[in-house]
Amino acid sequence: MKLAISGKGGVGKTTLAALLAQVYADQGRDVLAVDADPAPCLAGALGFPDDLRAQLHPISEMDELIEERTGAKPGTVGGFFTLNPRVDDLPERFSVTHRGVRLLEMGAVDLGGSGCICPESAMLKTLFTHLLFRDDEVLILDMYAGVEHLGRATVDFVDALIIVVEPTRRSLGTAVQIKKLAHDIGLTRLWLVGNKVRNEDEADFLQSETPGIPLLGLLPADLGVQEADRLGTAVYDHVPALRQAAEEIAKQLEGQL
């Protein structure tokens, strides 16, 4: 099962990615979580202890590795380098596992909506494609922004694009934009998850205003989420209400796939 999680900045993509990763890991499944944020924070949301976090480094920042694999230094524009470097060993080599969740940090991925063709984007694009072809039981991609990371060639392997929204028109507007981009590349398996829902009115708002995307479930607003961050513990452990909501969302999703 390959899940990509997208949505406007700050809506709770990383929180949901961490929750779902732990839900599936606790079911005994083999989970690979991928942090594609230029400022990685999925390790924190998963409650990875400091010694493990210190072992994580975003692939995008591994200049020597990128040069070794592509044949050119990152930052080089023009010149020759391979567009499909070897990447199959990277997930095992650079990921770190905690409580059944294997985590890989990609770092800043500019896959060239800007048209950038450079060694680091060739490397990350190849790695992204490779991850979607691997046979991990569960792959969870914390996408940071839109669906730019996904290309037409990989779309068939994404079982669900989950768009996280808050009960605001603005975040629903972003969901509509993501939906358009997804349709442009042929990705139609889209679901919404509402986050930071404080009351019935907000739940009703999301249920009635979904822009033609089925709603998988709602996560309540809970001050415990920030508290967990402060304490360095996983939301999954610290906020039972969110854990339960995530378990329900995982169940709904499996029913619909």
Ligand X SMILES: Nc1ncnc2c1ncn2[C@@H]1O[C@H](COP(=O)(O)OP(=O)(O)O)[C@@H](O)[C@H]1O
CA separation for the pair 6, 14 (Å, rounded): 9
DSSP 8-class letter at 212: S
Q: Which of 14, 70, 129, 154 binds ligand X (CB under 6 A)?
A: 14
Q: Which of 131, 178, 225, 253 binds ligand X (CB under 6 A)?
A: 225
Contact assessment for residue 47 and residue 234, using Cβ atoms and an 8 Å cutoff:
yes
Q: Least distance (Å) from Mg ion to the CB of residue 214?
A: 23
Distances (CA, A) of 19 to 91, 101, 200, 244: 21, 11, 23, 10
CA separation for the pair 234, 130 (Å, rounded): 28
- Residue 118 partner contact from Mg ion, ligand X, none using kind-dependent CB cut-offs of 5 to 8 Å: none
- Choice between 121 and 174, CB closer to ligand X: 174
Contact segment (CB under 6 A) with ligand X among 9-17, 76-84, 116-124, 247-255 equals: 9-17
Instruction: Tell the residue number behind the tokens 């680091």, with chain if given.
Output: 120
- Residue 6 partner contact from ligand X, Mg ion, none using kind-dependent CB cut-offs of 5 to 8 Å: none
Q: Does 195 bind Mg ion (CB under 5 A)?
A: no
What spatial distance separates the first Cα and last Cα of the chain, rounded to whole Å?
A: 9
Q: Does 69 bind ligand X (CB under 6 A)?
A: no
CA separation for the pair 74, 162 (Å, rounded): 32
Q: Which of 105, 120, 136, 222 binds ligand X (CB under 6 A)?
A: 222
Q: Least distance (Å) from ligand X to the CB of residue 133?
A: 25
Pairing of strands 190-197, 215-220: parallel
- Choice between 1 and 145, CB closer to ligand X: 145
Judged by the rule CB under 6 A, the positions of this chain that interact with ligand X are 7, 9-15, 195-196, 219, 221-222, 225-226, 229
